[in-house]
């Protein structure tokens, strides 16, 4: 009886193992990002790959190593503590329960956010920010995490004999491949070029198609080249796009160095970026000692603690690295009859006309049309932007389209003519304006923190372009190759904003900045604190310093536990929120205020600390208050007296909700002034 029992038990165990192995074999593998507690971190960066491979082997039972065995993709030591690995759902579920694992979540793909800027921003080689920074960012290394860079024959990435080498603190380098000769391309301007592709290949389940994409730092899409030259491209005289926007093209920090880390890859015509590759790029950038990390890409995550770029940014900021990201472009049929279109200018419009204009032009061209008038969707209001048209085209507002359509219906033989007037500047409507595509607030993570921070140029930006991609990004129908291209999107605004913190709130005519989607004055959810003003950043008067410790307190106020906060701190420390000062979410030392009311009559108080960085240490600032309609706003104290011993002073605001409000959101401001400086903070009130 005993022997029979043992035989049955053995058969049962074998069956269970076989079932588990069978489940593993039928379970598809995916890429996961795994954060580990500090005690399980690799001792050295050089041993990290071997350490985490061994870690996976130790914590997974033997039967989970058969079939689809886990495979390490990346090891992280700077932007995060942990690794990315390709594994099955069963393996990932088993790892989740291990005490050495803080968090595990699946990899995902993020999307890219897709000449007159220096003069528009009031930048001059002889005065202001460019002159004061010894020629625009001398010594700074800006890393662009994007689609790579195309330096072949691109004057934006050249350096003359006077251009200094990168600082000794920069430890990066460049990688050569068959299609990217780093020795020929890299110089004192382009000081780093790397690529991170393992996460993308693991997610796609196949190798990168090198007939479409270059597995190298080379940009075959154009986006990375454009953003890199916008940030720090060398001055190029007589730059233009097919004759338009002619002038000197240069980056915002013309004397800064560029490092390009390719993390986004073309696949079947579309470019996307795996979060594991992005985190690897940020990890490398921190290790290399860059000064600025610029990311013009994004996605949606429900919480900050499982958003890789937030975790990487926190660890970069702790090391004194500026991190700049773009907010996104999520703001507000192709068949034609040839016998109706041949030789004509075609009007393309509809209430839901969201088709790419180039696709519409191609349809007109294929049908024999000689030109196109393309309407934007009505929700875009008065917003118009340039495109690299493949035939004579005029883009107009939906309102103007209705007028033209009415004309075509009222006459038997309507006539149209397109006049090309070249590049026109300093003409109505006055700039700046908020683009219709620009993503809006409020902040989905914490409505008490105003987002966006500010706005910057992002429409019709002329910058360097790759020769691997046509100007329309449609190689099938467009074989044009250009040195410079004009594109729009918050990606183009992101590099402008990297080192700029002050803002203004009126256009060039002195009127409130308008939202082009509505035609009305833009509010804080559209423009944040205002439009960047680089020259004022040289002498802002007061600044709001925010330390890593302030952010940890902020995470406590969000209700994050010690394990979730450990994903950010990355140093083995344990945060006990009960021992820290009790602060509300809105108490983060941010140069803007956003209060949320649950009921009428409610009072909300938020605290701030400002530091005097002006040349005069003995100075007094007084406050001017503009309360949001439907509220009462008080500031305590109303006078800040700084001296050599008191460079940093505290104040608070209290906003009281009235009985009713005519709108869900209202806004006002507070302005501190010493007679020379004005330091403005928007105040937004929201009724839930």
Number of structural domains, the chain? 4
What are the tens digits of pLDDT across the range 584-625? 989 988 888 989 898 888 999 999 999 888 889 999 999 999
Which CATH number belongs to the domain containing residue 35 in this structure?
Answer: 3.30.70.80
* pLDDT the model gives residue 670: 92
Question: Phi, psi at residue 515, to the nearest 5°?
Answer: -90, 120
* pLDDT the model gives residue 337: 42
Mean pLDDT calculated for residue range 115-141: 48
Are 671 and 585 members of one domain?
yes
What are the tens digits of pLDDT across the range 321-372? 888 776 444 444 334 444 444 555 566 665 554 556 666 766 776 667 777 7
Which CATH number belongs to the domain containing residue 562 in this structure?
Answer: 2.60.40.2310
Q: Which of 84, 106, 128 is the last residue of a domain?
A: 106
In a domain, 13, yes or no: no
Are 554 and 511 members of one domain?
no
In a domain, 360, yes or no: yes
Are 337 and 356 members of one domain?
yes
Which CATH number belongs to the domain containing residue 389 in this structure?
Answer: 3.50.30
Are 183 and 301 members of one domain?
yes
| Residue 229 pLDDT class (50, 70, 90 cuts) | confident
Indicate whether 265 pLDDT > 90: yes
Q: Which residue has the higher pLDDT, 69 or 418?
A: 69
By residue range, what is the domain housing residue 420? 332-436
Residue 24: left if φ>0, alpha if ψ -120 to 50, beta else—which one? alpha
Which CATH number belongs to the domain containing residue 308 in this structure?
Answer: 3.40.50.200
**Separation CA 70–CA 29 (nearest Å):** 8
In a domain, 678, yes or no: yes
Are 374 and 262 members of one domain?
no
* pLDDT the model gives residue 114: 47
What are the tens digits of pLDDT across the range 7-16? 333 333 333 3
Are 478 and 553 members of one domain?
no
Are 196 and 316 members of one domain?
yes
Are 146 and 280 members of one domain?
yes
What are the tens digits of pLDDT across the range 41-65? 988 878 899 999 999 989 988 777 7
Mean pLDDT calculated for residue range 514-540: 56
In a domain, 14, yes or no: no
Are 214 and 119 members of one domain?
yes
The SS3 assignment for 172 reads coil
**Separation CA 621–CA 504 (nearest Å):** 19
Contacts with 239 (C-beta within 8 Å, 6 or more apart), sequence order? 115, 245, 246, 247, 248, 249, 462, 483, 484
DSSP string, 554-602: HHHHTT--HHHHHHHH-SS----GGGSPP--GGGS--SSEEEEESSTT-
| Residue 443 pLDDT class (50, 70, 90 cuts) | low
**Vertex 359: Cα angle to 358 and 361 (nearest 5):** 60
In a domain, 19, yes or no: no
In a domain, 311, yes or no: yes
What are the tens digits of pLDDT across the range 172-219? 998 999 999 988 988 999 999 999 999 999 998 889 999 889 999 999
Are 421 and 481 members of one domain?
no
Q: Which of 493, 524, 555 is the last residue of a domain?
A: 524
Q: Which of 80, 106, 132 is the last residue of a domain?
A: 106
**Separation CA 653–CA 91 (nearest Å):** 51
Reference 671, options 593, 616, 570, 605; nearest CA is 593
- DSSP code for 214: -
Q: Which of 50-64, 117-131, 218-232, 536-550 has the lowest mean pLDDT?
A: 117-131
| Residue 66 pLDDT class (50, 70, 90 cuts) | low
Q: Which residue has the higher pLDDT, 453 or 204?
A: 204
Q: Which residue has the higher pLDDT, 464 or 297?
A: 297
Active centre residues (catalytic): 146, 223, 491
The SS3 assignment for 358 reads helix
Are 386 and 248 members of one domain?
no
**Separation CA 535–CA 128 (nearest Å):** 5
Mean pLDDT calculated for residue range 379-402: 69
In a domain, 530, yes or no: no
Please give the span between the terminal C-alpha atoms of the chain, in angstroms, as a whole number.
72
Are 283 and 374 members of one domain?
no
Where does residue 577 rank: exposed (0-12), middle (13-18), buried (19+ CB within 10 A)? middle
Write down the residue that tokens 């050599």 correspond to: 644
In a domain, 643, yes or no: yes
Reference 36, options 561, 577, 563; nearest CA is 563
Instruction: Kindly give the residue spans of alpha helices, DSSP state H, lying in 333-485.
Output: 338-341, 357-366, 398-410
* pLDDT the model gives residue 113: 52
Q: Which residue has the higher pLDDT, 487 or 362?
A: 362
């Amino acid at each position: 009886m005993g022997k029979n029992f043992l035989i049955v038990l053995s058969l049962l165990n074998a069956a269970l193992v076989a079932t588990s192995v069978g489940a593993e074999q039928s379970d598809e593998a995916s890429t996961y990002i795994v954060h580990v507690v500090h005690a399980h971190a690799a001792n050295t960066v050089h041993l990290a790959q071997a350490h985490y491979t061994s870690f996976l082997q130790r914590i997974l039972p033997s039967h989970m190593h058969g079939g689809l065995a886990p495979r390490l993709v990346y090891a992280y030591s700077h932007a995060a503590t942990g690794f990315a690995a390709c594994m099955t759902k069963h393996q990932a579920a088993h790892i989740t329960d291990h005490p050495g694992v803080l968090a595990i979540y699946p990899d995902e793909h993020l999307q890219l956010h897709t000449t007159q800027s220096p003069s528009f921003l009031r930048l001059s080689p002889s005065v202001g920010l460019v002159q004061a920074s010894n020629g625009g960012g001398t010594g700074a290394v800006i890393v662009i995490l994007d689609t790579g860079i195309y330096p072949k024959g691109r004057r934006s990435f050249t350096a003359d004999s006077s251009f200094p080498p990168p600082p000794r603190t920069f430890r990066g380098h460049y990688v050569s491949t068959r299609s990217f000769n780093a020795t020929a391309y890299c110089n004192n301007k382009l000081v780093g070029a790397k690529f991170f592709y393992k996460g993308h290949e693991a997610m796609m389940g196949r190798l990168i198609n090198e007939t479409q994409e270059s597995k190298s730092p080379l940009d075959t899409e154009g986006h990375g080249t454009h953003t890199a030259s916008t940030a720090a491209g060398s001055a190029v005289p007589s730059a233009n796009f097919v004759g338009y926007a002619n002038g000197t093209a240069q980056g915002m920090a013309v004397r800064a160095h560029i490092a390009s880390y390719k993390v986004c890859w073309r696949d079947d015509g579309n470019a996307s970026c795996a979060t594991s590759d992005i985190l690897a790029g940020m990890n490398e950038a921190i290790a290399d000692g860059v000064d600025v990390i610029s990311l013009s890409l994004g996605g949606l995550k429900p919480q900050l603690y499982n958003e890789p770029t937030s975790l990487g940014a926190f660890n970069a900021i702790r090391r004194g690295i500026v991190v700049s990201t773009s907010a996104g472009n999520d703001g507000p049929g192709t068949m034609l009859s040839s016998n109706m279109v041949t030789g004509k200018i075609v009007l393309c419009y509809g209430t839901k006309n969201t088709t790419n204009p180039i696709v519409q032009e191609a349809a007109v061209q294929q049908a024999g049309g000689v030109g196109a008038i393309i309407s934007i969707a009505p929700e875009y209001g008065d917003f118009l932007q340039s495109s690299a048209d493949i035939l004579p085209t005029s883009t107009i507002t939906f309102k103007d389209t209705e007028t033209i359509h009415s004309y075509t219906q009222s006459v038997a033989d309507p006539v149209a003519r397109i006049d090309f007037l070249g590049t026109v500047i300093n003409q109505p409507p006055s700039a700046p304006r908020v683009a219709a595509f620009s993503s809006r607030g409020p902040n989905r993570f914490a409505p008490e923190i105003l987002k966006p921070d500010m706005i910057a140029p992002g429409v019709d930006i002329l910058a360097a372009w790759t020769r691997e991609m046509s100007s329309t990004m449609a190689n099938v129908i467009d074989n044009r190759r250009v040195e410079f291209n004009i594109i729009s999107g918050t990606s183009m605004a992101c590099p402008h904003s990297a080192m700029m913190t002050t803002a203004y709130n009126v256009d060039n005519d002195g009127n409130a900045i308008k939202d082009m989607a509505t035609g009305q004055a833009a509010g804080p959810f559209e423009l944040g604190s205002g439009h960047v003003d680089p020259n004022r950043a040289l002498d802002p008067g007061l600044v709001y310093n925010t330390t890593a410790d302030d952010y940890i307190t902020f995470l406590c106020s969000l209700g994050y536990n010690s394990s979730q906060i450990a994903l950010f701190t990355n140093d083995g420390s344990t945060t006990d929120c009960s021992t820290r000062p009790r602060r509300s979410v809105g108490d983060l030392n941010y140069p803007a205020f956003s209060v949320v009311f649950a009921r009428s009559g409610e009072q909300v108080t938020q605290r701030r600390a400002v530091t005097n960085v002006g040349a005069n240490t003995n100075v007094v600032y007084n406050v001017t208050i503009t309360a949001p309609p439907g509220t009462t706003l008080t500031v305590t104290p109303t006078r800040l007296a700084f001296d050599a011993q008191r460079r940093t002073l505290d104040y608070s605001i209290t906003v009281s909700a009235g009985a009713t409000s005519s709108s869900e959101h209202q806004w006002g401001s507070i302005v501190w002034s010493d007679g020379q400086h004005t330091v403005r903070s928007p105040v937004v009130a929201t009724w839930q």
